[in-house]
Amino acid sequence: MDIKLAKTAGFCFGVARAVDRAYQCANEETKYCTLGPIIHNAQVVEDLCQKGVTVIENIEDLPSGATVIIRTHGVPKAMYQKLEAQHIPYLDLTCPFVKKIHNLVDRHRQDGYQIVIIGDPTHPEVIGINGWCDNSALIIQTPEEAKTLKSDQKPLCIVAQTTFNQNIYKKIIFFLKKTCQNTVIFDTICNATEERQTESRSLAAEVDVMLVLGGQNSSNTQKLYQICKSVCDEAYCAESINELGDLSRFKNKKIGITAGASTPAVIIKEAINKMENQDQNFATLFEESLKTLNTGDVVTGTVIEVRPTEVIVDLQVKQDGIIPASEISDDPSLSPADIVKPGDEVQVFVVRVNDADGNIMLSKKKLDSIKTWEAILKAAEDGEILEGKVSGLVNGGVIVTYKSYRVFVPASLANDRYLSDLNELVGKVVPFKIIDVNERRKRIVGSVKAVLAAQKQELLKAFWESAEVGKKYNGIVKSITNFGAFVDIGGVDGLVHISELSWARIKHPSDVVSVGDAIEVYIKDINEETKKISLGYKNPAENPWEMAKAKLNVEDVVKAKIVRMLPFGAFAEILPTVDGLIHISQIANKRIAKPQDELSIGQEVDVKITEIDWENKKIALSIRALLPEEPAVEEAPAAEAAPAEEEVPTSYHDEVEADTIADAVAPVEE
């Protein structure tokens, strides 16, 4: 058999609420009696009687000292007055939706309205409603009666039995609006009833056989049966599956099952089990169906649907549980789909067993918060290191968010070094230890400094045990000065001097690196006494002078670009960052007063390499060697002689600044 069960089948909110409370009463020492059957289901009523909650039809039959339970259908106002006058204790389990009708009728009766009730005049709910307007209501249940209803001088207040047929109700209202002008209409048909009837009609149209489970005296069940019968020819109404006899006739058929609002889950489960040839003990099934939840319970359920605003959870009870999106996580940026998916098992906290719509409200966030608090207390006791995000500044420190809790970290404990501006911590994830907890106020104080200081000591110890010249490290640039960059290489800061940042001449370390950059460095020197470390960053393999060795030789003729001029000559770039000096005496084959007489910055010239000193990175160049010889001329006076060549640098990249060179190299008199 292909069996399909209506989602809305079985106990409605009001019935489930009343039955759950009645079973709780059965476990109390006080004697309880229901005024009439609590619901239209013989099995439930009988089971409650066996457990001590008996049924009385009149107050006069109440045993001495017993408490009256007012059933879901409600009672007339006079009954409350009688109970109170006789000082009889009572527990009101009237369905909240029915109670709402009582209030409407009572208020409008006092305001001078004629009350009209659409419903069955013999039904206990309608009798109870009528009792809230001194039994003066006009009661109708067919469109024909609505056609003939005439209003007198009084305005009409129209209400309906909560389980009334929605289609018939609409027809009655249509005619009442035509025949009665001064009316106030309240659609009091329970949403659950409307949904149940709509779903039953739709399901009956899809199947071969439709089974409606419920009591023969249940108005709700009988209306469901009529709806299903109008759509599906083979429809049955039964209090239990046993009334259908041989089930083999349903083999290879599609079967739909729905149930009235007073039908317990055990009846539905028994029907499905027998149709699937599963022989389970009825008593066991009944006990399982009586499982109840209480506010404050922690339960495990299975996610059956994830919606944008809520998550539906199967709790193995009649009603499914609902986790609102706001109760999924304390992170507002996450949607329910980011946290759970259908099929996941979740542990949740029961916030309310039945809300106004009959739902079981759950919270995952609340349970997570309870677990988090327990973890915080344990972490404080054990000295455990936790992690949280700095979410903001407060007077005297910062707030670190750890899951759903706020941890205050004083400014003096927010870092292992002084911070003039704590804003630089906001948004960062930091480790911390809990140093104080106020359990009553749930206030937490933490320390980042304690963690960082301990970590730094461990890193220092590990570093000095393995540090050696030449060892490479992946470091982080922590700060930059005019003379270099400090790099963290594992809890220890080392200095990369500006001269070690690039083979090219740079004006400032920031030309090469920025704070936060990850760079590879190596140890150039270690001072064991001061614990200071010099680091290298330039790759020796990229040394332009080393590469020049493979390309340049004495007597080579190469292209060069004039990059700088001094009184004693001009520097020319042969290769990137490799320069040579063209002495003033080698610029032309005639005597010149200054290099600018023949050359200009940026000019490209052919030069001959006349000398190379690789050790001192000096190259001597000559333009004159490539020019034809000029006729000999009389030598100039000694005062105009060029400076001695041996005192002049031949590469400015590794020398002092120009003004220093100019001062250091003076002309030599002949």
From the list 277, 95, 109, 104, the residue with the least C-alpha distance to 190 is 95
- 286, 34 Cβ separation under 8 angstroms: no
- 608, 625 Cβ separation under 8 angstroms: yes
Task: Please tell me whether residue 433 adopts helix, strand or coil conformation.
Answer: strand
Tell me 440's DSSP state.
T
CA angle 9, 13, 18 (to 5 degrees): 115
| Residue 427, amino acid | G
CB atoms < 10 A from the CB of 265, how many? 21
Q: What are the Cα distances from residue 418, in Å, to 71, 332, 414? A: 71, 33, 9
Which strand (E) or helix (H) includes residue 570? strand 569-575
Catalytic residue among 28, 60, 125, 199: 125
Tell me 658's DSSP state.
H
From the list 240, 247, 234, 298, the residue with the least C-alpha distance to 266 is 240
Residues 6+ apart with CB under 8 A from 266: 43, 282, 285, 286, 288, 289, 290
Q: What are the Cα distances from residue 405, in Å, to 7, 372, 375, 387? A: 39, 8, 11, 12
CB atoms < 10 A from the CB of 569, how many? 28
Euclidean distance between CA atoms 567 and 569, whole angstroms: 6
Q: What are the Cα distances from residue 501, in Å, to 233, 484, 618? A: 91, 8, 21
Task: Please tell me whether residue 578 adopts helix, strand or coil conformation.
Answer: strand
What are the residues facing 5 on neighbouring strands? 257
Helix axes 191-204, 166-179, angle to 10 degrees: 120
Which strand (E) or helix (H) includes residue 660? helix 658-664
* Contacts of range 76-82, beta carbons closer than 8 Å, 24 or more positions apart: 76/127, 76/128, 76/130, 76/131, 76/132, 76/135, 77/102, 77/106, 77/131, 77/132, 78/131, 79/35, 79/131
- 70, 90 Cβ separation under 8 angstroms: yes
Give the strand order in the sheet containing 209-213.
2-5, 254-259, 209-213, 235-238
Q: What are the Cα distances from residue 472, in Å, to 119, 498, 519? A: 89, 19, 10
Which strand (E) or helix (H) includes residue 30? none
Quick one: tokens of 89? Answer: 């204790």
CA-CA-CA-CA torsion sign (586, 587, 590, 596): negative
- 157, 114 Cβ separation under 8 angstroms: yes
Euclidean distance between CA atoms 312 and 543, whole angstroms: 67
- Residue 125 known to be catalytic: yes
Give the strand order in the sheet containing 114-118.
138-140, 114-118, 156-160, 183-185
From the list 370, 411, 405, the residue with the least C-alpha distance to 387 is 405
The burial class, CB within 10 Å (0-12 / 13-18 / 19+), for 360 is buried
Quick one: tokens of 471? Answer: 């060892």
Largest CA distance in the chain: 151
Catalytic positions are 125
